[in-house]
Amino acid sequence: MIVITGATGALGGATVEHLLKCLSADQIGVSVRDVAKAQQFADRGVRVRRGSYDDPAALRDSFEGAEQILLVSQNDPGGDGISLHRNAIEAAVAEGTQRILYTSHQNARGDSPFAPSHEHAATEALLAESGVAWTSLRNGFYAHSLDWLLGPWQQTGVITAPADGPVSWTDRADAAEAAAIILTGQHPVDGPVTLTARRAVTFDDIATTAAELTGRDITRVVIDDEQWLADRIAAGTPEQMAHLLLWFFHAARHGHFSETDPLLAELLHREPRTVADLLTDRINTRVPNTM
């Protein structure tokens, strides 16, 4: 059995959907905080058990019989991710799991200006010490984060943001499909692997692409960090989230998210989605770029 955590979230849920296309439902389990939210999987024959990273007994029960586990990283910026992930890894080891896959982040390192990177690096160290085979999916920065970072450029024709750097923006649905491909043994990989789009682009590049796609002038304006932070908070972005977004710019301008790797394309047997694909979707659906 393959057990997916975070299956009531976006990446975990999409991974289950991919697994259902190539495995029978009784080979798949989900470990979720709220089993009611996973009813659609239970209805299709997937084993649904309660599992929360702060509840070791429930985790063990939800991991019972799992040969592989996809451990989706916790998503609370104020949470103690290292302790929570340690609980999950210990439960997996106790249940005799043969491999743990973990959703990490590209360039996970303890000294990154982007704080979530520290949690990912520490979790990878726990996996390395666990004695169980492990794969760390160092996913590229999710491209849909641009919905929050670019601001309302479709309305204003201006992308106003702090100084940035090249980022290999990666589609979350592509990352979920890649996780399923690895879990089903179609392309086994071991240890930390980087899964990104083919190209790293800056906000200047994105403004150029947006102008080409819309036929309008789209201007990139660099704004002072503190001004941007104050504007965001004044516009209603929660303070903790606004700081997290600013750390992104600090890390990006030092090249922390510029790495690209061909592995994602190799796993998918197609080109990963690009920022131009995302912008095209947004232009067609007129999704507002605000947070």
Binding residues vs ligand NAP (CB under 6 A): 5-6, 8-12, 33-34, 52-54, 72-76, 84, 103, 105, 139, 141-142, 145, 172
CB of 139 to ligand NAP, least distance (A): 4
CB of 214 to ligand NAP, least distance (A): 25
CB of 34 to ligand NAP, least distance (A): 5
Nearer of residues 34 and 217 to ligand NAP, judged by Cβ: 34
Nearer of residues 104 and 209 to ligand NAP, judged by Cβ: 104
Nearest residue relative to ligand NAP (C-beta): 9
Nearer of residues 141 and 153 to ligand NAP, judged by Cβ: 141
CB of 138 to ligand NAP, least distance (A): 9
Nearer of residues 53 and 218 to ligand NAP, judged by Cβ: 53
**Token pair 């160092």: residue:** 138
The phi, psi pair for 195, rounded to 5°, reads -120, 105
Instruction: Determine the 3-state secondary structure of 191 from DSSP.
Output: strand
**Side-chain half-sphere CA neighbours of 50 within 13 A:** 9
Give Cα 289 distance to the centre of its chain: 19
Nearer of residues 9 and 113 to ligand NAP, judged by Cβ: 9
Cβ-Cβ contacts under 8 Å for 21 (sequence gap 6 or more): none
Pairwise CA distance, residues 133 & 140, whole Å = 22
Report the alpha-carbon angle 196-168-129, nearest 5: 50
**Side-chain half-sphere CA neighbours of 70 within 13 A:** 32
CB of 257 to ligand NAP, least distance (A): 9
